[in-house]
Structure 1
């Protein structure tokens, strides 16, 4: 399938698939979408609402007690969400175990065309972004002192973890082109993979998606969407 790196509305790049008229990130702004959907309403929401819970595992990093958070990304893709989360982990003083699932990994020649370190004012950390893609699949790697990455080359339907993750970034291609990724069967796997009080966030807001989430047991909220979208969804696995 033909693929091309293009520039989105906020100046950051993404990969466009002309045959599907689909891209890895919003054409209105890749970085804006990532921050709005996955950081603001996912990572920040969880940190500020859940980390005082006695159920949270505390770890010591450089002599400072921090929270350990486990994140599953459905659609590792360009690595943008992982890279921003790495940068946020430093600001939040938390320790993040990040798992990225991807059926069709991005190629190295595409990675070097992505301008995320520059647009995030993190050009001095470009080596970390490249490292996210260079490290081997299926193994756990310590990228920084408070961010580990495990990339898994498998399909979403193959996820079998139980109560392992605190947050899921659900960033699959849209239901218009891959409806099989937005079914009750897939969201049942997501529900089982989350710990109680864990959250799943996605840019999607279709009624069929919301109903599929609710059917498997999620409590679902409609939230303001990123630029170019009116709404998005956040699903919580209530205890």
Structure 2
């Protein structure tokens, strides 16, 4: 059964998708683009790179390919920084071309608009295969749930699942343990969520947990670092 999906415009002018069946959007209503840059690029990828510039390729794992925004921003970052990234993302419900072709992320920041063709390219890359997209960006997209996904070694986790009250099965301690176990020492886990239970579970899994300023419209977010053992 096909999900009903509506394209919406968030406060920073960028699009997101809204699922009436869950009464949930793919991004913050306060700004999809700003949220991705703040949570996943600034406090995730760039934070890891700042302390590990000699370790390449960077292995990124994303829970929820969704609109492809995080993947595209990561590709742009890889090309700009001439830094190799192996990007693994999972998505049990890929969106169709009729939807992603209407999304406006590539038009939000004029300084990176010349990377626009790659947004379509990453969406059209075959699922469940993996391969080279650009000189610095390799990607594997799997149509699979997190429960069933095979995980590879991870340096940075983009935990971008729907909210805990919408998809509680993706925020249990057991499922978080699966992700943490695959992370390399010093690896970074970032998410927009700042739920107390999430932070307690990550701490019990041996992570160093930080509560950081959230993106516009959200007070806090979570980052956790896997301790060297």
Q: In the alignment, what sits opposite 1:147?
A: 137
Q: Which moved more, 1:228-237 or 1:13-22?
A: 13-22
Flag the 1:214–1:160 CA change in 2: closer, same or farther, 3 A: farther
RMSD of the alignment, in Å? 1.2
Q: Which of 183, 197, 203 is matched with 1:194 structurally?
A: 183
Q: Which moved more, 1:31-40 or 1:91-100?
A: 91-100
Q: In the alignment, what sits opposite 1:124?
A: 114
Q: In the alignment, what sits opposite 2:198?
A: 209
Unaligned runs of 5+ residues in structure 2 are none
Separation (CA, whole Å) in 2 of partners of 1:234 and 1:158: 24
User: What is the Cα deviation at residue 161 of structure 1?
Assistant: 2.8
Q: Which of 141, 157, 168 is matched with 1:168 structurally?
A: 157
- What SS does the aligned partner of 1:106 have? coil
Provide the aligned length of Structure 1 versus Structure 2: 225
Q: Which of 162, 182, 190 is matched with 2:171 structurally?
A: 182
Separation (CA, whole Å) in 1 of partners of 2:159 and 2:218: 16
TM-score by length of 1: 0.91
Structure 1 contact 160–193 (Cα < 8 Å) conserved = no
Q: What is the 5 A alignment of 1:216-235? A: 216-235=205-224
Q: In the alignment, what sits opposite 2:47?
A: 45
Show CA shifts across 1:22-55 (max 9, x none). Answer: 1111110011000000000001100001224xxx
Separation (CA, whole Å) in 2 of partners of 1:211 and 1:76: 26
Structure 1 contact 26–33 (Cα < 8 Å) conserved = yes
User: What is the Cα deviation at residue 123 of structure 1?
Assistant: 3.7
Structure 2 contact 76–115 (Cα < 8 Å) conserved = no
Structure 1 contact 96–147 (Cα < 8 Å) conserved = yes
Q: Which of 54, 76, 101 is matched with 1:112 structurally?
A: 101
Q: In the alignment, what sits opposite 1:64?
A: none
TM-score by length of 2: 0.94
Show CA shifts across 1:60-111 (max 9, x none). Answer: xxxxxxx310100000100000000111112222101101111111111110
